[in-house]
Amino acid sequence: MPEIRLGDSLYSCGNGETVLECLERHGVAIPSSCRSGVCQTCLMRALSGDPGSLAKQGLRETLQAQNYFMSCVCRPAENLGVALPDQAGLRTRGRIVEKTFLNERIVRLRYAMDTPVDYRAGQFMNLIGPLGDVRSYSLVSVPGVDEFLEFHILLLPGGRVSGWAYTQAAVGDESEMLGPHGACFYVGGRPEQPMLLAGTGTGLAPLYGIVRDALSQGHTGPIHLYHGALKASALYLVDELRAMAATHPNFNYVPCVFHPEGAAEGMQIGDIKRIVLDREGGVAGWRVFLCGDPELVRELQRACFKAGAGLRDILADSFLPNRSPSKPA
């Protein structure tokens, strides 16, 4: 069985066990959240041995070059020497400069950062809550356009970080963050390529950033954005998106609601997946962005692939829930 060396200690890794599971079983506390190789909270550095390509998938090149890997998906095939990351270079601090409620469950936080963050709209930051919990939030702001980092956070029942953001966070509060991470963002160079974007709830956050980024870079191809919610009052930024559609002829915004009560003119009623597929038909040659609810993201990924989109043209961010053992409140 492979052994993991951390500092002066050696830990024996069980059959099929990940580095994270092995270290936790031996009482070593490692920060983690999604435990699925998405959020990058569990980053470690390999000092010797190969953690494997899966554990590096999605990490930016500078991190890969320094042998960073995600310990939650690293099942080592050989002995590994590992170290906790030097988070100094990954950590950054910001101060809330604006807090706005966007609907009855979604709050927008805008942060001024101590040092500039080199990011793209649609990537995500790992925000460290006041009790030390780490949660990922997508970047809505567009570098070069906005002077702040913007996040949209959905209040979840019992949510440790979303609850803090919604009820307690106040202008002037400071937060630490790690990142940016993620590859779901607009890349220029093909301004005429049609774009399809779909998501529910705060899945709109990265999509809104990506659309604004594309438009600010002069994208000329059609951009179709579908945003879904259970009911009309759970949608948000409806007026802003309608105004954007009115001023950009290549941008089409389709609000979708599952229940018809309160639906306004122009809203589509029903299952967002059905609505997208019925209205779009084939998407061969399109660039597709899917964000939010993991099940919807998975289903639309499959459906868009079947409808002709290339695998490399389908970019997605599943909002996977935190699965790390809870810290005491």
Ligand X SMILES: Cc1cc2nc3c(=O)[nH]c(=O)nc-3n(C[C@H](O)[C@H](O)[C@H](O)COP(=O)(O)OP(=O)(O)OC[C@H]3O[C@@H](n4cnc5c(N)ncnc54)[C@H](O)[C@@H]3O)c2cc1C
Out of 124, 185, 208, 226, the only residue in the binding site for ligand X (CB under 6 A) is: 124
Q: At what angle do helices 204-216 and 238-247 cross, to 10 degrees?
A: 20
Out of 6, 38, 44, 125, the only residue in the binding site for ligand X (CB under 6 A) is: 38
Pick one of ligand FES, ligand X, none as the site partner of residue 207 (Cβ within 5 to 8 A by kind). none
Task: Determine the Cα–Cα distance for residues 56 and 73; give it in Å rounded to an integer.
Answer: 9
Q: At what angle do helices 294-306 and 272-280 cross, to 10 degrees?
A: 20
Least distance to ligand FES from the beta carbon of 58, Å? 9
Residue with tokens 């069985």: 1
Least distance to ligand FES from the beta carbon of 20, Å? 7
Here's the x/- map for ligand X, 144-173, by CB under 6 A: it reads as -------xxxx-x-xxxxxx----------
Q: List Cβ neighbours of 67 (8 Å cut-off, separation of 6 or more).
A: 45, 46, 47, 51
Q: Are 296 and 317 in contact (CB under 8 A)?
A: no
Tokens coding 16: 């099929």
Pick one of ligand FES, ligand X, none as the site partner of residue 32 (Cβ within 5 to 8 A by kind). ligand FES
322 lies in the site for ligand X, by CB under 6 A: yes
| Residues forming a β-bridge with 92 | 177
- Applying CB under 6 A, the residues found at the interface with ligand FES are 32-35, 37-42, 70, 72
Out of 32, 41, 92, 136, the only residue in the binding site for ligand X (CB under 6 A) is: 136
Q: List Cβ neighbours of 62 (8 Å cut-off, separation of 6 or more).
A: none
Task: Determine the Cα–Cα distance for residues 295 and 301; give it in Å rounded to an integer.
Answer: 10
30/198 with CB nearer ligand FES: 30
Pick one of ligand X, ligand FES, none as the site partner of residue 152 (Cβ within 5 to 8 A by kind). ligand X
Task: Determine the Cα–Cα distance for residues 166 and 40; give it in Å rounded to an integer.
Answer: 24
Pick one of ligand FES, ligand X, none as the site partner of residue 55 (Cβ within 5 to 8 A by kind). none
Residues that bind ligand X in the complex, under the rule CB under 6 A: 34, 38-39, 124, 133, 135-138, 151-154, 156, 158-163, 202, 205, 317, 319-322
